[in-house]
A and B are shown apart, each in its own frame.
Chain A
Amino acid sequence: MSIVTVQLGQCGNQIGFEVFDALYTDSHCPQGLCSKRENEAYQASCKERFFSEEENGVPVARAVLVDMEPKVTNQTLSKAAQSGRWKYGQHSCFCQKQGSGNNWAYGYSVHGPRHEESIMNLIQKEVEKCDSLSGFFIIMSMAGGTGSGLGAFVTQNLQDQYSNSLKMNQIIWPYGTGEVIVQNYNSILTLSHLYRSSDALLVHENDALHKICAKLMNIKQISFSDINQVLAHQLGSVFQPTYSVEGSCHYRRNPLGDLMENLVPHPEFKMLGIRNIPQMSENSLAYSTFTWAGLLKHLRQMLISNSKMEEGIDWQVRPPLSGLPTLGKASLNRGLHFNMSIANLVILRGKDVHSADLGGFKDSALYTSWLEPINAFNVWKTQRAFSKYEKSAALVSNSQFLLKPLDTIVGKAWNMFASKAYIHQYTKFGIEEEDFLDSFTLLEQVVASYCNL
């Protein structure tokens, strides 16, 4: 089954390019560390999900590019075409002349309705190219105007028009110390709308990705390109094919469906995060060897202590003794806060996957009481190595990991809202104070729900 990607705004399009590039590069990587037959099955599965075939043999990404001004999409299209390895469809791009000005209201209320038909037509064309549709992957930032506002509008439309298909939104959580001054307003408006219309929100935080570039990849002058490549690597480690029940050479057909089934048992809790191990620069990789035991131990602690990378993990954090109730709101400020999970999915790729011991993740103390660990925890595997890593493990989790950042953004947006600053920029385009209040109410509810796990 195939996934149709919708890339929105500067961020969405810049990331989208890196994602397809990473997927393609990995699937054509000669060091698969497995049999030729296995490799071919892997490649075919990846291709079915993300690329369609063009006449002259160059794979075309199953993607629709949307932006309200032309500079970024032009760059994205030409970068892909120049690579000679894969490209975007000639007519897969929708572009306007004047951007959304970092204004969620403009993206949602002006651009949305104005360009609804054109954008949905493009998406429809892409869907028609698929033999069978697994769902949509929408890449967008929260801080700007197009990705956030138009992204929210498009997601709503997808819900109406393709009610049987799944939608996963890849959203970018902006840096804490501003990229855009009104980022908190744009973020809360986006989150509240997506919470109603999306099936799952896969969140990546710029601050976390930045730290990975600095500490693990040892990059001195970090550019957005570097950050996007780390992100693409993480997404690739989740979305590349893994074995279905039949095992070797047989790959899962419905990645989005399987992800949702495993990770989103309850619609109130739909925020997912990815952790990946190991991550390091190519130079360091040549000198490193890993054991599954070591990798999984680190990954488990990263989950429990809410760490985003394998350096600087706080080993003091432990799961609470079973039977004791977890604390409510007060726990937000506690240093040794243990990150409670609702559901986890570990994805293992590479040598000797079958020997990996995942007992640590089956501990019921890690999870809320509603699901038995056997249902809350799942594993996917493949022997085929990912992107030059002899062994790599990814963890997709539905946990409290985003609680503090969400609470922070809501708090800052609320302070700004209380002083009425910038509100006139939104009311100008039809987003009233009431709409803000609705968003705040919904998100406070979400914060409270996660807090009381």
Chain B
Amino acid sequence: MTQSVVVQVGQCGNQIGCCFWDLALREHAAVNQKGIYDEAISSFFRNVDTRVVGDGGSISKGKICSLKARAVLIDMEEGVVNEILQGPLRDVFDSKQLITDISGSGNNWAVGHKVFGSLYQEQILEKLRKSAEHCDCLQCFFIIHSMGGGTGSGLGTFLLKLLEDEFPEVYRFVTSVYPSGEDDVITSPYNSILAMKELNEHADCVLPIDNQSLFDIISKIDLMVNSGKLGTTIKPKSLVTSSAGAVKKRHQKPFDAMNNIVANLLLNLTSSARFEGSLNMDLNEISMNLVPFPQLHYLVSSLTPLYTLADVNIPTRRLDQMFSDAFSKDHQLIRADPKHSLYLACALMLRGNVQVSDLRRNIERLKPSLQFVSWNQEGWKTSLCSVPPVGHSHSLLALANNTCVKPTFMELKERFMRLYKKKAHLHHYLQIEGMEESSFMEAVSSLSGLIEEYNQLDATKSMPVEDFPRLSIAV
């Protein structure tokens, strides 16, 4: 079994990270009734004897003593991390695994990337090496950050290159929160585009998220909860937005509902690697199957169900509804329209009491309405994990490599160009050592290249699927 390390960068990254650890504890507490430190838990947590001073306290088997998250917390201002360390989750984090500063990055990618990058490079490497040493077999780094600000965006992406050089064999999965149209940070387009270049070049896999989609999911749930329809009492633990039943009781904060959705995404993504099932899917399989060409590694995610109704009977129809929902826009974590764009690949990760026949039936049912690229007509990757998420009998996470991300990137590029043409706020960036106009041009060019690759694939959409002529053999 392998381990993963979570690196949470910036305010957004750390707030999401905090929710993630909370829900991870809740999930393992529900599955692991006997309190034995097993391989599943070890994927994200260390078992430490807190009486031992220094590093010698790791316990590899036996009863759970004290669980420490395999995490590195990075922020260039102290507020968020301090709050975490004073809150109910303080014991979960190793106080040595954090890097903070006071002044913040001022929503400036260049400050995060160039200034703090070089300032903290050694420290960051040291913390990362430490966390890697604590792992028996480190498979993946999960980086959580936002694209629109300064720290998450700049320092978060600086990390990627470091990780690639220092740990070339370890996967880099990035959860990136993209700025929505009405973002209040004016320079978010600059920060996002500059960060995109790094994601293009150094990430193995990116899960883009946008706040508007998360917000829409919450609204949908609220509507359901408050609709007062008969028989719609919802199990509180099952809400994809709630931390009900969490081991450490935290005060629910404003972004928590949205962050819990992202936390659930990460839990479901890793479930088949941590828990057993009849068709396992490890993290290295995600990259292998969903990334046909190195640059095209942006995956649209959708989660279902969002809640479970209190009545227990789940007839087959409900199960099939779950599959339909996964392909509806209401359940996606980023605004996009995969159904009307081209699928390059699609993964269905199921948890709970779902069997292969349910899977096959639904793939057959949904396939006709989806367009797959000509060379990957049966581009489905599937997994079945026996352990359901807390509060549910089953769940589905769909990851799609689809050209529908193109409009998001094009919009981002447009917003960037509007600012850049007027040279608005540019001096804040150019005054940073190492930043020149060419940095911007390179970043735009990288994004344009990516958009062009998607364009070329889209162009094949309306063409008839023809088989390539086969090798002819002299008999």
Contacts and interface: CB of A to CB of B under 8 A. Distances in A.
Nearest to A421: B292
Given A181-B381, A411-B470, A99 B284 contact: yes
Interface in A174-194: 175-182
A262 interface: no
B366 to A, nearest CB: 11
Interface string B284-324: 11011111111000000000000000000000000000000
B457 to A, nearest CB: 10
A181 B380 contact: yes
B9 to A, nearest CB: 26
Contact of B471 (A69, A71, A440): A440
A346 to B, nearest CB: 31
Contact of B467 (A415, A424, A448, A449): A415
Contact of B276 (A71, A97, A422): A71
B282 A97 contact: no
B378 interface: yes
Contacts of A181: 289-290, 345, 376, 379-381
A178 B378 contact: yes
B137 A97 contact: yes
A180 B364 contact: no
Interface stretch (A80-88, A220-228, A391-399): A220-228
Interface in B350-368: 355-358, 360, 363-364, 367
A227 B384 CA distance: 15
Kindly name the residue among B275, B356, B468 whose own CB sees the greatest number of chain A CB atoms within 10 A.
B356
Nearest to A206: B356
B288 A415 contact: no
Contacts of B360: 175, 177, 210
B136 interface: yes
Interface string A412-426: 101110111110110
A140 B363 CA distance: 25
A214 interface: yes
B467 A411 contact: yes
A414 to B, nearest CB: 6
A412 B378 CA distance: 9
Nearest to B281: A102
Nearest to B384: A224
B446 interface: no
Contacts of A210: 356-357, 360
Interface string B318-351: 0000000000000000000000000001000000
Kindly name the residue among B137, B355, B358 whose own CB sees the greatest number of chain A CB atoms within 10 A.
B355
B66 interface: no
B374 interface: yes
Contact of A424 (B136, B290, B294): B294
A100 B285 CA distance: 8
Kindly name the residue among B294, B374, B376, B377 whose own CB sees the greatest number of chain A CB atoms within 10 A.
B376
Contacts of B1: 69-71, 97
Interface residues of B, number: 48
Contact of B375 (A100, A219, A416, A440): A416
B39 interface: yes
Given A97-B2, A101-B282, A210-B360, A177 B380 contact: yes
A161 interface: no
A154 to B, nearest CB: 21
A421 B470 contact: no
A97 B278 contact: no
A418 B282 contact: no
B36 interface: no
Nearest to B278: A224
A97 B136 contact: yes
A75 B473 CA distance: 46
Contacts of B280: 10, 69, 71-72, 99
Interface in A399-434: 410-412, 414-416, 418-422, 424-425
A218 interface: no
B52 interface: no
B115 to A, nearest CB: 35
A98 B2 contact: yes
Kindly name the residue among B1, B291, B367 whose own CB sees the greatest number of chain A CB atoms within 10 A.
B1
Contacts of B284: 98-103
A224 B358 CA distance: 11
B108 interface: no
A445 interface: yes
Given A210-B360, A224-B278, A448-B473, A414 B288 contact: no
A102 B288 contact: yes
B279 interface: yes
Contacts of B136: 97
A372 interface: no
A164 interface: no
B139 interface: yes
B375 A415 contact: yes
Nearest to B272: A71
B382 interface: yes
Interface in A197-235: 210, 213-214, 219-225, 227
A179 B470 contact: no
Contact of B356 (A72, A222, A420): A222
Contacts of A363: none
Contacts of A221: 355, 357-358
Contacts of A410: 470
A224 B356 contact: yes
B223 interface: no
A419 B375 contact: yes
Interface string B413-441: 00000000000000000000000000000
A375 interface: no
Nearest to B276: A71
A444 interface: yes
Contacts of B379: 178, 181
A179 B292 contact: no
Interface in A2-37: 10, 14
A421 B39 contact: no
Contact of A224 (B279, B377, B472): B279
Interface in B435-475: 467-468, 470-473, 475
Contacts of B468: 414-415, 418
A441 interface: yes
Contacts of B290: 181
Nearest to B284: A101
Kindly name the residue among B2, B284, B382, B384 whose own CB sees the greatest number of chain A CB atoms within 10 A.
B284
Kindly name the residue among B279, B287, B367 whose own CB sees the greatest number of chain A CB atoms within 10 A.
B279
A124 interface: no
A88 B137 CA distance: 27
Nearest to B139: A98
A448 B278 contact: no
Contacts of B345: 181
A177 B378 contact: yes
Interface in A219-261: 219-225, 227
A331 interface: no
Given A221-B358, A452-B475, 16 more contacts: A71-B276, A101-B285, A101-B288, A177-B363, A178-B381, A179-B382, A181-B289, A181-B345, A181-B379, A181-B380, A222-B356, A224-B279, A224-B355, A411-B467, A420-B293, A425-B287
10 contacts: A69-B282, A71-B1, A71-B39, A180-B285, A181-B290, A181-B379, A221-B358, A225-B278, A421-B375, A444-B472
Closest 9 CB pairs of A and B: A101-B284, A222-B357, A178-B380, A421-B292, A97-B137, A223-B355, A181-B289, A224-B278, A419-B375
